[in-house]
Amino acid sequence: MLYRLQRIFEWVIFIVLWVVLLTSSTPIYTSIYDRARAYTRSMEFDYISWTFNAAWIKFQQDSISSPHYIDRETRKQIVMEYLRVSNQIFQDEGKLNQMFADPSIKDKQAASANLRHELDNLYNQQSKLAPFAESILQEQVSSILAQQGLTAGGQPVPPVLYHMSPVPNALIVSPRDHIEQIANISLSPKMTVDQEAALENQVDQGLNVSSLVVPIGGIGSYPTMVMRTTDLSWLLETVSHEWTHNYLSLRPLGINYDTTPELRTMNETTASIVGKEIGSLVLKTYYPELANTSSPDLSLVSLPGSRPNPNDLPRPVFDFRKEMRLTRVTVDKLLSEGKIDQAETYMEQRRQVFWDHGYAIRKLNQAYFAFYGAYADVPGGAAGADPVGPAVRDLRAQSRSLADFVNTISWMTSFQQLQNTVAQPTSAQATP
């Protein structure tokens, strides 16, 4: 009976949060946003359909109540088998794509028959394992959130719900004369790179802005949307990160996400801090043998083919975050002086430097910094000299616990409040 009441409570919260997110996530319609959508309407992501489908999947998963009837070791085995099958799918999909791109293979259907049959079997295995694996990981994240005091009545509110699927990319738009995200439009994940580049060129030329299509690892819809991956550390961090956005959406900081660039950075940096701490604790608690495995930074995609020649003379190690911070600071200075063309020329020169050191950044522009600069949970990088990230990190360092940190910052509605709180450490110790 208690379990049934808990399930009913969770689904009431689900409905409330879904309504809140549906209304609060409605874009602020600016002239630039409206004009940019003239180029994107035919390729935008359908959130309504995805959310209804994901909610139905979560309802079906919830009905099996699997984590409550499976012992801890079996839960672990299910998750690891799900990741193993997913990894094999990624490998076979890569082989299939390569086969269909190979001009020497004439009858591609016949040549790929066995591989496609294997993929069908793997997809079937994955679909059977997914409900259990997702339910188990949700329960494990919830347990750690409860240990950290991020609960109401002993349960995380909202409940942790996520679904792994292909996620949309985002078209980010910034003015050319300064760095600011003025539009973020979700696009179909089926777009090719050449289609993305063509869209960017149309938007840039038509609106005289800087735009960039960026990959997204997760989205704070409800249930939250998480990119397909076989990296358990990254998966746990992302599930926790996106849950934090759901948590904040019920409080002033999240409600005011789009009000100012500073509040957006406060939101994203807070979610990144919580995601890393909770994800790390889940990994150490339930998968200790994987706890020392570092997750990749998806914004720093390595290009092995452009690595320095090993026969070259030794040279200093390239510090990506340090070099990117230097780039951002220089760009901000040039733009503040009205030197837009010089700033854009400089960014392309720097992009080539990153490329030469193994970082495949397709385009480095104002929109790149407007997007990646908001994730400032560690020093350096695309945030440059922006003071918001350091202030959020200072508040976390001053707080007695992760819960104190989250409960303090979640009620803020301006960067000034954060600055005032950090300036008075004792106030950062108390929850509202």
Residue 25 has pLDDT above 50, yes or no: no
Tell me which of 125-134, 166-175, 233-242, 358-367 is least confident: 125-134
Q: Mean pLDDT, to the nearest integer, of 263-290? A: 96
* 142/155 Cα distance (integer angstroms): 7
Q: Which residue has the higher pLDDT, 55 or 46?
A: 46
The tokens describing 328, both together, are 């951002």
Q: What is the pLDDT of residue 20?
A: 54
* Per-residue CA distances from 18 to 22, 119, 159, 183, 194 (Å): 6, 35, 12, 23, 35
Tell me the pLDDT band of 297, cut-offs 50, 70 and 90: very low
Kindly calculate the radius of gyration of the chain based on its CA atoms and give it in whole angstroms.
23
DSSP state of 256: T
Q: What is the pLDDT of residue 221?
A: 87
CA dihedral for 407, 429, 240, 62, sign (positive or negative):
negative
Residue 310 has pLDDT above 80, yes or no: no
Q: Mean pLDDT, to the nearest integer, of 191-215? A: 95
Residue 239 has pLDDT above 90, yes or no: yes
User: How many CB atoms neighbour CB 421 within 10 A?
Assistant: 21
Q: What is the pLDDT of residue 306?
A: 30
- Lay out the sheet containing 183-187: strands in order across: 183-187, 169-174, 210-214
Q: Mean pLDDT, to the nearest integer, of 142-150? A: 95
Tell me which of 127-131, 135-139, 277-281, 352-356 is least confident: 127-131
Q: How high is the mean pLDDT of the chain? A: 86
Tell me the pLDDT band of 65, cut-offs 50, 70 and 90: low
Q: Mean pLDDT, to the nearest integer, of 386-401? A: 96
* 278/241 Cα distance (integer angstroms): 9
Tell me which of 99-108, 294-303, 336-345, 395-404 is least confident: 294-303
187, containing H or E segment: strand 183-187
Residue 349 has pLDDT above 80, yes or no: yes
Residue 29 has pLDDT above 50, yes or no: no
* 227/189 Cα distance (integer angstroms): 11
Residue 16 has pLDDT above 80, yes or no: no
Tell me the pLDDT band of 144, cut-offs 50, 70 and 90: very high
Tell me which of 149-153, 325-329, 366-370 is least confident: 149-153
Q: What is the pLDDT of residue 121?
A: 95
Q: What is the pLDDT of residue 348?
A: 96
Question: Closest by alpha carbon to 329, among 221, 203, 179?
Answer: 179
The tokens describing 30, both together, are 């600016």
Residue 1 has pLDDT above 90, yes or no: no
* 121/314 Cα distance (integer angstroms): 48
Residue-wise DSSP of 58-120: HHHHHHH-GGGTS-HHHHHHHHHHHHHHHHHHHHHHHHHHHHHH-TT-S-HHHHTHHHHHHHH
The tokens describing 427, both together, are 């106030």
Specify whether the CB–CB gap between 220 and 238 falls below 8 A: no
Q: What is the pLDDT of residue 308?
A: 35
Residue 422 has pLDDT above 70, yes or no: yes
Residue-wise DSSP of 286-351: H-GGGTTPPPP-TTS-B-GGGSPPTTSPP-PPP-HHHHHHHHHHHHHHHHHTT-HHHHHHHHHHHH
* 327/348 Cα distance (integer angstroms): 11
Provide the total of helices (H) and of strands (E) in the chain, helices listed first. 16, 6
Residue 246 has pLDDT above 60, yes or no: yes
Q: What is the pLDDT of residue 108?
A: 85
Q: What is the pLDDT of residue 275?
A: 97
Tell me which of 107-111, 167-171, 201-205, 344-348 is least confident: 107-111
Specify whether the CB–CB gap between 17 and 222 falls below 8 A: yes
Residue 61 has pLDDT above 60, yes or no: yes
Q: What is the pLDDT of residue 428?
A: 43
Tell me the pLDDT band of 354, cut-offs 50, 70 and 90: very high
For tokens 């709180």, the residue is 421
Q: 416: exposed, middle or buried (C-beta count within 10 Å: 0-12, 13-18, 19+)? A: exposed
